[in-house]
């Protein structure tokens, strides 16, 4: 089954074609991604209306591009998958309407899939993919969650952020330091020049049991430190780097501590990390060391599949379409808020 995957949940237009008759990463026939980051950076964050308009402009050319790269025509497709949520409703509608229009014209099945399930299973695109069951850390600009994954659609939420997601906290801390949007990569780059011993920021909610996260207090602590240095006339370039280092270390430590607890709680030896923040080098290094101590192993998608992309949507769509799932009565879906733990395995639908 050759499935076209469409991702338009926020500020990146992703398209891919996945062949479910093949195994491992070899099933990915072609993928393309267009990022709107440069456009939104001018405003310091995503502007929903601009995002929707840009998806409209870019989506069909990207579909033609991946079909050409895969040496296929639209008639060679067996199904279409699109991101139905969570995300920006206008952006979601662009992908949903395009997918349904194409599917109807081609008389092939279409299915709206969960954006975070795409991230969750993105490591399955790799040749060395993890086996079920495993613990997953989903860490991005909109979500920070720990999930026990027993199989496709068999998800148990172990913990999540009660306020800001980790990626959101990175962006806000970057703005405090006068850095551009998106802030995560810029904070990480600045932190490389920082003195790890100058500041120590709190590791939120690690002094109590449980697997939930909170980053709002860390954000406030960072702002207080910046204002104190400003008041003393000491907020120079080195101080900014030192704060960036302290902030990154606090977020990384918090995430790793919670991952360790999740592995201990479940007794599992595999952990998957996905989402935009999973590309953070320091986080990968720390999690690799932590899993090695426990005779466990960490899995990640390749760099370009950490952020939003069409390949992960095509993969999930291929698995669920092959199991017989379809959008009921041909009704397209756009669900801005959609809890991951409400998903069901294909056999239960």
Provide the angle, in degrees to the nearest 10, between the axes of the packed helices 183-191 and 166-176. Answer: 70
Locate the domains of the chain by residue range. Answer: 2-122+305-342, 132-300
Residue 60 assigned as binding residue: no
Cis peptide before 166 (omega within 30 of 0): no
Distance between CA 311 and CA 131 in Å, rounded? 19
CB-based contacts of 66, cutoff 8 Å, min separation 6: 4, 15, 16, 17, 29, 30, 31, 32, 310
* Residue from 161, 136, 159, 162 nearest 148 by CA: 136
* Residue from 138, 143, 106 nearest 10 by CA: 143
Residue 154 assigned as binding residue: no
pLDDT value for 348: 65
Structure tokens at 131: 């086996």
Per-residue pLDDT of the chain (349 residues; tens, 9 = 90+): 999 999 999 999 999 999 988 655 469 999 999 999 889 988 888 999 999 999 999 999 999 999 999 999 999 999 999 999 999 999 999 999 999 999 999 999 999 999 999 999 999 999 899 999 999 999 988 889 999 999 999 999 999 999 999 999 999 999 999 999 889 999 999 999 999 999 999 999 999 999 999 999 999 999 999 999 999 999 999 999 999 999 999 999 999 999 999 999 999 999 999 999 999 999 999 999 999 999 999 999 998 999 999 999 999 999 999 999 999 888 999 999 999 989 999 976 5
Distance between CA 91 and CA 48 in Å, rounded? 7
pLDDT value for 41: 86
What's the CATH code, domain 132-300?
3.30.420.40
pLDDT value for 22: 66
Residue 119 assigned as binding residue: yes
Find the largest Cα–Cα distance for the chain. Answer: 68
Residue 171 assigned as binding residue: yes
Mapping DSSP onto H, E and C, the string for 159-228 reads EEECCCCHHHHHHHHHHHCCCCCCHHHHHHHHHCCCCCCCCCCCCCCCCCCCCCECCHHHHHHHHHHHHH
pLDDT value for 171: 92
pLDDT value for 258: 97
Residue 280 assigned as binding residue: yes
Residue 295 assigned as binding residue: no
CATH topology of domain 2-122+305-342: Nucleotidyltransferase; domain 5 (3.30.420)
pLDDT value for 26: 66
């Amino acid at each position: 089954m050759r499935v076209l995957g469409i991702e338009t949940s926020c500020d990146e237009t992703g398209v891919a074609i996945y062949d479910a008759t093949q195994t491992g990463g070899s099933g990915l026939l072609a993928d393309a991604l267009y990022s709107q980051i440069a456009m939104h950076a001018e405003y310091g964050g995503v502007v929903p209306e601009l995002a929707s308009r840009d998806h409209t402009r870019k989506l069909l050319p990207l579909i033609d591009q991946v079909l050409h790269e895969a040496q296929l025509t639209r008639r060679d497709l067996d199904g279409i998958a699109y991101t139905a949520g969570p995300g920006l409703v206008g952006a979601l509608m662009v992908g949903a309407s395009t997918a349904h229009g194409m599917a109807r014209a081609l008389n092939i099945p279409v299915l709206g899939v969960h954006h975070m399930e795409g991230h969750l299973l993105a490591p399955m695109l790799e040749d060395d993919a993890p086996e079920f069951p495993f613990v997953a850390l989903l860490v991005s600009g909109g979500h920070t969650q720990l999930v026990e994954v027993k199989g496709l659609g068999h998800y148990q939420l172990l913990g999540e952020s009660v306020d800001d997601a980790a990626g959101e906290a990175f962006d806000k801390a970057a703005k405090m330091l006068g850095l551009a949007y998106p802030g995560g990569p810029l904070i990480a780059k600045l932190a490389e020049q920082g003195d790890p011993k100058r500041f120590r920021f709190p590791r939120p909610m690690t002094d109590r049991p449980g697997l939930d996260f909170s980053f709002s207090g860390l954000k406030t602590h960072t702002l207080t430190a910046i204002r104190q240095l400003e008041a003393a006339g000491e907020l120079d370039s080195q101080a900014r780097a030192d704060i960036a280092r302290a902030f990154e270390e606090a977020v990384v430590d918090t995430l790793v501590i919670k991952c360790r607890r999740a592995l201990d709680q479940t007794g599992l030896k595999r952990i998957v990390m996905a989402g935009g923040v999973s590309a953070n080098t320091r986080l990968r290094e720390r999690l690799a060391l932590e899993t090695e101590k426990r005779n466990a192993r960490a899995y990640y998608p390749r760099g370009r599949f950490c952020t939003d992309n069409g390949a992960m949507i095509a993969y999930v769509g291929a698995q669920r379409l092959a199991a017989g799932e379809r959008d009921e009565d041909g009704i397209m879906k756009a669900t801005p808020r959609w809890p991951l733990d409400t998903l069901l395995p294909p056999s239960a639908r």
